[in-house]
């Protein structure tokens, strides 16, 4: 979190972030209600303005930055959380950062997949220009298209952890017998993905969507992971690193669901709808109920509807 109570304090902290990303920053000058200053490199320059509105809330004005320069600067400081005397405004945690997300949690069929992606400011600008955003806002075709280019944009600094249905059911039963819930399994997946990325890139912070107390993930991190600051936020997919992770996780889930459908000769549907129940009943008729745990998450209430 970046705490700043006035424009000058915010300038001091943002200046460090911009300079760390290869930009130069000139001294600020005062304007009505705030300050402005020039950000530049060899190719371009632009003006940033920080001001405080009548409610005491700090604002950042990017309007004097044009083209790719505006995008790059915004990505550098996108996600800093400003602490002012007014309501908090979530702007960014800055870069570099590791984002993690999962897919398959709400799908009866198919694996649970967790992914983590390392993103610096330059990668962030490239990802944004390619249309990367929360996978829930994209078609399956677009998810697959973006999943093909994200690995090269992030220079291979990503990880995908897949828990196949049979293994998922085994782990879920084990955790339940220990009075633990699904959050423990989710935390393990996120932590494992983050740890693998840390073998490929140095980073001091990671961000995941809020599904439980952040200590769930933190407790599962190993030696490398213990050195990072982990954040969890609602709607974390708004962060470009988490959005990229959501796409990679969803694409792997869809790919494996399609593969399972091919292997067993039945179209296994997404989600947990009536179509899912019908597909599961067809599966049981053909392959028997003892095989269901190879394609489905058995603790879902859907299983009761299928087997009764």
> How far apart, in whole angstroms, are the C-alpha atoms of residue 203 and residue 274?
44
The residue ranges of DSSP E strands in the chain, in sequence order, are 24-25, 29-31, 34-40, 45-52, 58-61, 79-82, 89-92, 97-103, 112-119, 158-163, 205-209, 229-233
> How far apart, in whole angstroms, are the C-alpha atoms of residue 104 and residue 167?
14
Would you give the DSSP letter of residue 26? P
pLDDT at 82: 43
pLDDT at 3: 57
pLDDT at 58: 81
Burial (CB count <10 Å: 0-12, 13-18, 19+), residue 280: buried
Cβ-Cβ contacts under 8 Å for 245 (sequence gap 6 or more): 99, 100, 101, 115, 116, 117, 158, 193
| Contact between residue 100 and residue 206 where contact means Cβ atoms under 8 Å apart | yes
Nearest residue to 136 via CA among 14, 16, 288, 250: 250
Would you give the DSSP letter of residue 162? E
pLDDT at 184: 84
| Contact between residue 302 and residue 276 where contact means Cβ atoms under 8 Å apart | yes
Tell me which residues of the chain have a pLDDT lower than 70: 1-4, 54-55, 67-71, 75, 78-92, 211-216
pLDDT at 92: 55
Give the Å distances, CA to CA, from 103 to 15, 112, 136.
37, 6, 10
Q: Tens of pLDDT along 42-97?
A: 778 889 988 877 667 788 888 887 765 666 777 677 644 444 333 333 335 788 99
> How far apart, in whole angstroms, are the C-alpha atoms of residue 113 and residue 103?
5
Burial (CB count <10 Å: 0-12, 13-18, 19+), residue 251: buried
pLDDT at 91: 36
| Domains of the chain, start order | 7-92 (3.30.310), 97-255 (3.30.420.10), 257-307 (no CATH)
pLDDT at 244: 97
82 torsion bin: left (phi>0), alpha (psi -120 to 50), beta (else): beta
Nearest residue to 194 via CA among 172, 168, 224, 214: 224
Q: What is the mean pLDDT of the chain?
A: 86
Give the Å distances, CA to CA, from 159 to 4, 204, 250.
34, 17, 13
> How far apart, in whole angstroms, are the C-alpha atoms of residue 23 and residue 19?
5
């Amino acid at each position: 979190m970046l705490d700043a109570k006035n424009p000058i304090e915010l300038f001091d902290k943002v200046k460090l972030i911009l300079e760390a990303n290869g930009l130069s920053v000139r001294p600020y000058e005062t304007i009505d209600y705030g300050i402005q200053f020039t950000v530049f490199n060899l190719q371009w320059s632009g003006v940033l303005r920080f001001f405080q509105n009548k409610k005491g809330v700090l604002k950042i004005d990017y309007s004097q930055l044009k083209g790719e320069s505006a995008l790059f600067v915004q990505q550098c400081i996108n996600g800093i959380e400003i602490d002012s005397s007014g309501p908090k405004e979530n702007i960014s945690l800055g870069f570099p950062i590791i984002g993690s997300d999962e897919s398959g949690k709400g799908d009866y069929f198919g694996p649970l997949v967790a992914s983590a992606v390392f993103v610096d400011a330059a990668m962030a600008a490239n990802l944004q220009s390619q249309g990367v955003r929360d996978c829930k806002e994209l078609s399956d075709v677009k998810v697959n298209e973006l999943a093909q280019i994200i690995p090269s944009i992030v220079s291979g600094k990503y990880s995908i952890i897949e828990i196949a249905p049979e293994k998922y059911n085994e782990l879920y039963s084990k955790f339940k017998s220990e009075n633990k819930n699904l959050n423990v399994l989710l935390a393990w997946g996120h932590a494992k993905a983050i740890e693998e990325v840390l073998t490929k890139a140095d980073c001091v912070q990671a961000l995941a969507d809020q599904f439980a107390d952040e200590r769930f993930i933190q407790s599962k991190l190993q030696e490398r992971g213990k050195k990072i600051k982990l954040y969890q936020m609602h709607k974390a997919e708004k962060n470009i690193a988490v959005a990229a992770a959501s796409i990679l996780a969803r694409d792997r889930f869809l790919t494996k669901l399609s593969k399972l459908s091919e292997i067993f000769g039945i179209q296994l549907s997404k989600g947990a709808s009536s179509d899912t129940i019908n597909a599961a009943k067809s599966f049981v008729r053909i392959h028997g109920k003892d095989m269901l745990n190879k394609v489905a998450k058995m603790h879902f209430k859907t299983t009761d509807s299928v087997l009764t």
